[in-house]
Amino acid sequence: MTDPMPNIEGLVCPVPLLHNRQVVLGHGSGGRMSYELISKLFLPPLDNPILRAGDDAGVVSLPSGDDPHALRLAVSTDSHVVMPLFFPGGDIGRLAVCGTVNDVAMMGAEPMYLTAGFVLEEGLDFDLLGRVIASMQSAAHEAQVKVIAGDTKVVQRGKADGLYINTTGIGIIPKMVNIRGSNAQPGDVVLLSGTIGDHGIAVLAARGELYFDAQISSDVAPLNSLVSAMLHVSDNIHVLRDPTRGGLATTLNEIAIQSNVGIQIHEDSIPVKPAVSAACEMLGFDPLYVANEGKLIAIVGKDHADELLAVMHSHPLGIDASIIGTVTDEPGQHVTLRTTLGTTRLVDMLSGEMLPRIC
Amino acid sequence: MKYIAEYRDSTRVHTVMDEIARIVHRPWVIMEICGGQTHSIMRYGLDQLLPTGIELVHGPGCPVCVTSLEMIDKALAIAAQPGVIFTSYGDMLRVPGSDRDLFSMRASGADVRVVYSSLDALKIAQENPDKQVVFFAIGFETTAPANAMSVFQAKKLGLKNYSLLVSHVRVPPAMHVILGSASNRVRGFLAAGHVCAVMGYWEYAPIAQKYKVPIVVTGFEPVDIAQGILYTVKQLEKGRYDVENAYARVVSFEGNQPAQKLISQVFEECDQTWRGIGNIPASGWKLNSDYKDFDASERFQVQAIKPKESPLCIAGQILQGLKKPYNCPAFGSQCTPEHPLGATMVSSEGACAAYYRYGRPQ
């Protein structure tokens, strides 16, 4: 073989390809592409201080008498497009209630009321729809919220995946509670309420994409009673966030950006179910990026961490809770992971769509 | 997770790393061939545990990264045709062709589906007899047996609506290219365990002897990689250049012979263009004359488009171990996983993507 690389300096890679002309699925992944879509397309024209805060719910103050902030409300909305509609541990109805209840609860608010908008596909089975609504009723009862308004629209067959549900939630933020994504401070402790990745893997398994029986149920659950128990013992909770799409890694990155801090987490302290871990190994996924629907991250003052952990452990949704890391003053808003080997690596946001590796 | 945890055990990794530090006396550049190994190294921070002087450089073993632009353009052209279901491993959807990627094709209405294996694509073909189902058969020796099996079965079943767009590459010719280059710095190789599980390691002895480099078959877990490095450094320090197997729980000398037989029944050697490297003689596989009816590039008569490349990207040099991602002026600024300038940033196994995801703040 002659010198095999005569033209090497001239061979390079393709021009950049920006997904900035049309929506691709990656824009809905909850990762950096979603973040860019919101910050570049939605935020500029709709901008206001409440939206700009970038939290799970918008916080509005209503005046009463002389007090302009007499009543503070957390308002959040979420559309649910899960496929399949029923999966181990839940269904689209339960998800639609819990997802919005949790977003409201993550502001420290007590969720009170929900509205529900349904997009129904022509041909949808009444029995199936009835089961979804019954499941919503059961989840609403569990979360102690009422559905107070609703809407239905029907689209032609083939124009929707059976059923989409949008829910909007309203909750009251108790006086003295101030929980925001921007409140994390260096020295704070990061708590996680339980195992990660259960929902994402359960849905993948229900789609038949795993080709083995995963035995994993979604963790979808309303977190407001856990939040309420935590608020009962501590006034030093700075941030609450439920790591849904994009997973723990993406949510921690969002908090690091909002609070302008670094976050270091410890790999061996993050609980992952063996079945989730095994499924992720097979598919080439990292559990840090897999969705959860019944877990919360709490960033709290160091002195309150142990007491809060004890409260979480005594709640059914926090049995596997764990202290997973600390907030640092490291500049650059990086999330880093201390590996089981004692090395350190960066943990970035989910980029676009989560894709299985080739080999 | 039994059988994996023991290969991630911190004590075992540190014991091997301590042994490397004890025996090493000179600086060495070692290349891990496989993108999967690059990712393990960055994910576990194994480079941080190595003594100074041992430098790991990252090889061309990412099938997504090295698939030529011409092939991607062919894939896009086929996916655009009506009545086609284009199936691919997920990673390939993000790789930009000359002007678009498969994600944009899907967003524009093309039927592009992610599958985990060519056999899933074959199933889609059986279920959709009125559609043409094409599978993008990329990869090294690792994916070749399953891809070969899919056309072998398609022929047996008499399926007329299934075809492969083949862009297979082989490791040994790429090693010749790297070692034969005047600017080569690599003194030892970690051979890719999964490739060797299929092919064995009988092909590597002539390479080790010709270029006087040790080649150690290495797995993917932290303990495996540490052991692969230890074996390599031991040889380098003693002036030996043999082929050794540090992944014996998976790899045998002969490899998987039924798989090799199937590959030789379906494929034949061909010249192949590697993105970022160029044409390497006899470095690929294409369908042989018995199976040429299943060749999608003939069935759909796709014409290659002259590619437009970014002048900033140094992926070619990274894939040969000449440069590191941090040496690239575009790394992390103009070039990120969301806006990749090059294939090494696109694939989850690409070296730039690994540095971007796991690398410590610089």
Average pLDDT over chain B reads 89
Residues B146-197 pLDDT 10s: 999 999 999 999 999 999 999 999 999 999 988 988 888 999 999 999 999 9
Smallest Cα–Cα separation from B220: which of B231, B208, B230, B228? B228
Interface of A with B in 7-46 (CB under 8 A): 7-9, 11-19, 22-26, 32-33, 36
Residue A10 and residue A21: Cα distance in Å, rounded?
30
Banded pLDDT at A5 (limits 50, 70, 90) = very low
Q: What percent of chain B has pLDDT over 90?
A: 67
Banded pLDDT at A12 (limits 50, 70, 90) = very low
Banded pLDDT at B346 (limits 50, 70, 90) = low
> Given an 8 Å threshold on Cβ–Cβ distance, is B48 in contact with A344?
yes
Rounded average pLDDT over B222-231: 97
Residue B86 and residue B112: Cα distance in Å, rounded?
5
Asked whether the predicted pLDDT for residue A154 surpasses 60, the reply is yes
Q: What percent of chain B has pLDDT over 70?
A: 93
> Given an 8 Å threshold on Cβ–Cβ distance, is A359 in contact with B143?
yes
Rounded average pLDDT over B85-91: 92
Q: Which of A278-282, A307-311, B2-6 has the lowest mean pLDDT?
A: B2-6
Asked whether the predicted pLDDT for residue B107 surpasses 70, the reply is yes
Tell me the three state secondary structure of residue B319: helix
Is B160 near chain A, with CB under 8 Å?
no
A122 burial class (0-12, 13-18, 19+ CB within 10 angstroms)?
exposed
Is A277 near chain B, with CB under 8 Å?
yes
> Given an 8 Å threshold on Cβ–Cβ distance, is A16 in contact with B339?
yes
Residue A235 and residue A253: Cα distance in Å, rounded?
24
Q: Which of A228-242, B300-314, B322-336 has the highest mean pLDDT?
A: A228-242
> Given an 8 Å threshold on Cβ–Cβ distance, is A3 in contact with B182?
yes
Tell me the three state secondary structure of residue B37: helix
* Chain CA centroid to CA A219, Å: 12
Q: Which of A5-9, A260-264, A342-346, B158-162 has the lowest mean pLDDT?
A: A5-9
Asked whether the predicted pLDDT for residue A8 surpasses 60, the reply is no
Distance (Å) of CA A321 to CA A102, A308, B34, B216:
17, 10, 37, 43
Rounded average pLDDT over B319-337: 77
The class level of CATH for A57-173 reads alpha beta
Residue B65 and residue B345: Cα distance in Å, rounded?
8
Report, in angstroms and rounded to the nearest whole number, the Rg of chain B calculated over CA atoms. 21
Interface of B with A in 325-344 (CB under 8 A): 334-335, 337-344
pLDDT value, residue B4: 79
Distance (Å) of CA A322 to CA A127, A339, B226:
41, 16, 31
Q: Which residues from A are below 8 Å from B42, CB to CB?
A: 345
pLDDT value, residue A13: 34
Q: Which of A73-82, B22-31, B234-243, B299-308 has the lowest mean pLDDT?
A: B299-308
Neighbours of A305 (CB within 10 A): 20
> Given an 8 Å threshold on Cβ–Cβ distance, is B138 in contact with A358?
yes
> Given an 8 Å threshold on Cβ–Cβ distance, is B139 in contact with A16?
no
CA diameter of chain A: 89
> Given an 8 Å threshold on Cβ–Cβ distance, is B361 in contact with A346?
yes
Q: Are B84 and B111 within 8 A, CB to CB?
A: yes
Residue B110 and residue B102: Cα distance in Å, rounded?
9
pLDDT value, residue A37: 86
Residues A125-141 pLDDT 10s: 999 999 999 999 999 99
pLDDT value, residue A357: 54
pLDDT value, residue A15: 32
Pairing of strands A86-87, B84-88: unpaired
pLDDT value, residue A184: 97
The residues with which A117 forms a beta bridge, in sequence order, are A151, A166
A125 burial class (0-12, 13-18, 19+ CB within 10 angstroms)?
exposed
Asked whether the predicted pLDDT for residue B144 surpasses 50, the reply is yes
> Given an 8 Å threshold on Cβ–Cβ distance, is A11 in contact with B101?
no
- How would DSSP label each residue in A178-243? ---TT---TT-EEEE-S-SSHHHHHHHHHTT-SSS-----------HHHHHHHHHH-S-EEEEE--
Angle between helix axes B35-43 and B222-238 (nearest 10 degrees) is 110
Q: Which residues from A are below 8 Å from B8, CB to CB?
A: 340-341
Q: Which of A196-205, B252-261, B341-350 has the lowest mean pLDDT?
A: B341-350
Smallest Cα–Cα separation from A10: which of B310, B322, B219? B310
Pairing of strands B188-192, B215-218: parallel
pLDDT value, residue A172: 97
The class level of CATH for A189-347 reads alpha beta
How close, in Å, is residue B157 to chain A by CA atoms?
A: 23
Tell me how many degrees the CA angle B98-B102-B103 measures, rounded to the nearest 5.
Answer: 115
Interface of B with A in 16-55 (CB under 8 A): 36, 42-46, 48-49
Which amino acid makes up residue B184? Answer: N
CA distance from start to end of chain A = 30
Model ipTM value: 0.78
> Given an 8 Å threshold on Cβ–Cβ distance, is B103 in contact with A346?
no
Tell the CATH topology of B64-170+255-299: Rossmann fold (3.40.50)
Banded pLDDT at A1 (limits 50, 70, 90) = very low
Rounded average pLDDT over B36-48: 92
The single-letter DSSP state of residue B74 is H
Q: Which of A135-144, B31-40, B165-174, B214-223 has the lowest mean pLDDT?
A: B31-40
Residue B322 and residue B324: Cα distance in Å, rounded?
7
Residues A288-345 pLDDT 10s: 999 999 999 999 999 999 999 999 999 999 999 999 999 999 878 899 999 999 999 9
Closest chain A residue to B280, measured at CA: A4
Q: What are the residue ranges spanned by the domains of chain B? A: 64-170+255-299
Angle between helix axes B118-127 and B144-157 (nearest 10 degrees) is 20
Q: Which residues from B are below 8 Å from A340, CB to CB?
A: 8, 10
Residue A357 and residue B17: Cα distance in Å, rounded?
28
Q: Are A352 and A28 within 8 A, CB to CB?
A: no
Residue A355 and residue B347: Cα distance in Å, rounded?
10
Residues A44-70 pLDDT 10s: 999 999 999 989 999 999 988 888 878
Q: What are the residue ranges spanned by the domains of chain A? A: 57-173, 189-347
> Given an 8 Å threshold on Cβ–Cβ distance, is B341 in contact with A16?
yes
Banded pLDDT at A157 (limits 50, 70, 90) = very high
Q: Is the dihedral of CA A47, A49, A53, A58 positive or negative?
A: negative
